[in-house]
Amino acid sequence: MSGASEEHFVLLNDVKIPKLGLGKSIYEANVMLYMKTLYYHYYDDTCRYLKSFVYYVFIGSSYQQGGQNVNAVVFAIKECGYRMLDTAVHYDTEKVVGHALQAVKDIVPRENLFLTTKLWPDDYGYESTMKSFQESCKIMDVKYVDLYLMHWPDVHVESDNKRRTRAETWQALQDLYKQGYCRAIGVSNFLLPHLQEFLQDCSVIPHVNQIEFNPFQNPQELLNYCRKAGIFIEGYSPLGKGQILQREPVVTIARKLGRTPAQVVIRWSIQNGVTTIPKSNKEKRVLENSQVFDFSISDDDMLLLNNLNENLHVTWNPETVVF
């Protein structure tokens, strides 16, 4: 560990946010595949709610509520210096994070950790948002969160005016922020057209926009807009679900620096001024991903990596949400 617990950016409201976080999601690569018939809820490319019979379920990684997953979070905090944990209602991992917080409370006080969770659009609307937030805090056994995000730009509840529902939802987040239950509030997966309308209905500008960010998905127009507006960018899927790690010039730069391709890509995000949130349940990978603060990438190599942008989404594609 090389100062991971001490590295941070500063949000517009002067809240310090770690440069590196640990993501906990059901959608991780290292999962065990069990074949069985199950009536299972899933989402299509537009994240509209669907129900269907499917014949598999992913078990393991962050979907698992057992000790292995909790141990991975505890290891990340105690041994690797992670101070930011990222979860969400939709990930079904808030309980895991809550157990991990209890396990480390005598070693790392709650105030020294940065906890993020997210509101799923099934719960948009003022009262539903307040209820969902209270439930998240109860599950994690916390009195406040450091960052609370609207997870998706679309609205999944019945509404004759989605813009108004988003505005009412944001009003709830603003009230939670003003009451001290959230140290910062923001959105996730909001693209430029979404923000241009959304900001018209905000009295508190979102402190954060959490988006997919990696060398394949490097949306400069959105980044420039957010920075001009004072909205900080967080990036998820920094490794592009592994697709980037075999590509040039990533491999050559990693070899030159004596680092792994994953470390190079994570460092690239941080040098671009973006907090990054890699996910893994394997202690070896969790440790490897944290060892990115004792080297830097040259300007020339940063340019090479920046030029890899293909506007490729390896997860949800929010371009399908039209306001």
pLDDT score at 4: 75
Catalytic (active-site) positions: 91
Q: What is the mean pLDDT of residues 204-229?
A: 98
d(CA 210, CA 195): 12
d(CA 88, CA 92): 7
Dihedral sign for Cα atoms in the order 20, 81, 240, 67: negative
What global pTM score does this model have? 0.88
Whether residue 318 is predicted with pLDDT greater than 80 in this model: the reply is yes
Q: What is the mean pLDDT of residues 242-251?
A: 96
Q: What is the mean pLDDT of residues 283-291?
A: 96
User: In 145-181, at which residue ranges do the beta strands (DSSP E only) sit?
Assistant: 145-150
d(CA 115, CA 77): 12
CA angle 182, 185, 191 (to 5 degrees): 165
Q: What is the mean pLDDT of residues 86-100?
A: 96
pLDDT score at 62: 37
Whether residue 281 is predicted with pLDDT greater than 90 in this model: the reply is no
Whether residue 242 is predicted with pLDDT greater than 50 in this model: the reply is yes
* Buried residues in 132-141 as b, exposed as e (16+ CB within 10 A): bbeebbebbe
Specify the range with the lowest mean pLDDT, choosing from 34-43, 125-134, 159-168.
Answer: 34-43
pLDDT score at 68: 52
User: In the chain, at which residue ranges do the beta strands (DSSP E only) sit?
Assistant: 8-10, 16-18, 22-23, 32-43, 49-59, 84-86, 114-119, 145-150, 182-188, 208-212, 232-236, 275-277
pLDDT confidence band for 33 (50 / 70 / 90):
very low
Is the separation of the CB atoms in 121 and 154 below 8 Å? yes
User: In 63-156, at which residue ranges do the beta strands (DSSP E only) sit?
Assistant: 84-86, 114-119, 145-150
pLDDT score at 217: 97
pLDDT score at 3: 62
Residue 288: partners with Cβ closer than 8 Å, 6 or more residues away: 260, 262, 263
d(CA 83, CA 113): 5
Q: Which residue has the higher pLDDT, 59 or 43?
A: 43
Dihedral sign for Cα atoms in the order 17, 22, 28, 29: positive
Whether residue 27 is predicted with pLDDT greater than 90 in this model: the reply is no
Both tokens of 291, joined, read: 């060892």
pLDDT score at 69: 85
